[in-house]
Structure 1
Amino acid sequence: MPFYVSPEQQMKDKADYARKGISRGRSVVVLQYDDGILFVADNPSRALHKISEIYDRIAFAAVGKYNEFENLRLGGVRYADINGYQYDRRDVTARGLANVYAQSLGTIFTETNKPYEVELVVAEVGADADTDQIYRLTFDGSVADEHGYVAMGGQADAVAQALKDGYREGSSLAVALRTAVRALEAQDSDRHLDAKSLEVAVLDRHREHRLFRRLTARRIGDLLNEADGAADAGDAADGATSSSDEADED
């Protein structure tokens, strides 16, 4: 006698399976800063990247199973190259790429027994912050247009809450990086992420030609030290102001 499972139960089981797989991975954070879009991954590997360039102004970040999101990344690169060659480089957009990924993920989710255990962000940097585009895609092909920041993978809710508390529009690269690292550390109060534990890249709107740039461990460390120094200076200034106010009152 064949075993029957309702379509609703099948979809629920697939969704639960994919969510569990994604939550077992390490988190990735994407957020806007004053000069572009910052990508930060909890990823000590120097060979297996979670963050990659897709095209001139477009980058890709992913969590989940590496072989699955790597297949999607390569497909995105081929799509961008072919369309840029056949039409015009300006016709290759993050929105178009997000639609392609959404169709692929949706088809895989509904028509195969095992869904992809992945979650993606496709981002395109614009001439200013208002024209930046950040799209988040889930395992079932759903697409969300995000603004400001995105957290994926691991304990994403805890990371997103930390970003909500700490994120400020128009932050410098150093401050945005420190905010992202603190959000990633919010998953475990005992964990400290140093420069060698991070994969960091930016889409810098002020660069010429290729706007995507990876940051070295040394550069990451310098930016974190810069942000900490600025925070310490700000705390000292606040303390001096408070002391001055108290003296005036006396």
Structure 2
Amino acid sequence: MKYKIAIILLFASTISKAQFNDAGSSTASLEETGIWNGLYLKARLSDKIGYYAEHHYRVRNAADNVTSFIGRDRQIYNRAGINFFFSKNFEAVIGPALIVNYTPDPGNDQYEKITLEPRIWHQWLFKTTDLGRFNLYHQFRFEHRWKRNNDVGAEYDYTNRYRYKFFAYIPINSPTIKEKTLYFSPSAEIFMHSGKSIVANPMEDFRTYNGFGYVLNNNITFFAGHMWTLGQKSDGASYKTTHILRFNVLIGLDFRKLEKRLPGINLGY
């Protein structure tokens, strides 16, 4: 019991500290608000192999109103991969990603309307199952990115990104997560990156993403939450923050023979 309470308090402390720093720091400025809509797909093809995909449509605030949340297209984000299941507590994914980045200033000829950003990504997901009422996860994700900004004629810049996410699923209206369960999911994630263009700002981002999910059935889950980010600017001394509302649909499919299927709920990542 003491271990469980300590974990919950750690989440609360991390989130509260981040929000306090957002309001009180003179070197952090709010630079973006937005809405991210996501579709997550996880298909079990065999006991050891599956298919994983994410598709996002993201919008951001109008150029003249940072608190508007909508006003400009931001990204279309597509990620796919082969899912390897090593045990009930460990799995990994590897695959490609393609991101469409929209111009920050629609109608300005100095910017290209869209640029394409290819990536190769892989991740490890560890699950802790001996915590009673809720599940705890550790996610390590690595991305190799070829990115260019929307300036006309800009060249591609290769960077690597390293991510660690600590999150939990906590059922509210039932002892475990099953059909018709409402659950709360707190999370904290750190982003580091490296490359020739990364000199004074090794910390790309810190995120807290907290929200509520509803399990409709074994195949469909809905999730909505708020994400706050703190990012280090290129000078290394100043920071930017964002507030993002996120709305997701999570779909889980199992194509194994009926007698080999394991009962479970698709919650995404």
Compute the TM-score of the two structures, normalised by the length of structure 1: 0.25
Q: By percentage of residues, which structure has more strand?
A: 2
Compute the TM-score of the two structures, normalised by the length of structure 2: 0.24
Give the greater-gyration-radius structure (CA): 1
Q: By percentage of residues, which structure has more helix?
A: 1
Structure with the bigger RCO (C-alpha within 8 Å, sep 6+) is 1
